Amino acid sequence: QKEVEQNSGPLSVPEGAIASLNCTYSDRGSQSFFWYRQYSGKSPELIMFIYSNGDKEDGRFTAQLNKASQYVSLLIRDSQPSDSATYLCAVTPYGAGSYQLTFGKGTKLSVIP
């Protein structure tokens, strides 16, 4: 059973701080890693994806991947109240089924003004 684990939170950070969201996965053969943001009552919105070990930056967001530790994280710099949402980590396997996203349950982030 391929699993993606996230702390459900809520994670509370003050406005302007760095929010750090973490995700571990069980399938060592996982190939691609995605972070989605989901506002309450809305559908998931793709924020970032990462395939290679290391860091990938996009604006205030940085995704970090460590395949040896089977760990992926999302850092949000200068957090804003509008960042308050549930953040879903998703992975796809290598090869057969590489289109199939396996999601964690999500971490609820609350940015306090």
40 touches other proteins (CB under 8 A): no
DSSP state letters, the chain: ---EE-----EEEETTS-EEEEEEES-TTEEEEEEEEE-TTS--EEEEEE-SSEEEEETTEEEEEETTTTEEEEEESS--GGG-EEEEEEEEESSTTTT--EE---EEEEEE-
Residue span binding other proteins (CB under 8 A) among the ranges 14-22, 60-68, 76-84, 94-102: 94-102
Does 100 bind other proteins (CB under 8 A)? Our answer is yes
> Among the candidate windows 9-17, 45-53, 55-63, 72-80, which touches other proteins by CB under 8 A?
45-53
Return the residues of window 63-92 that contact other proteins according to CB under 8 A: 88, 90, 92
String of contacts with other proteins for each residue 20-39, x by CB under 8 A: -----------xx-x-x---
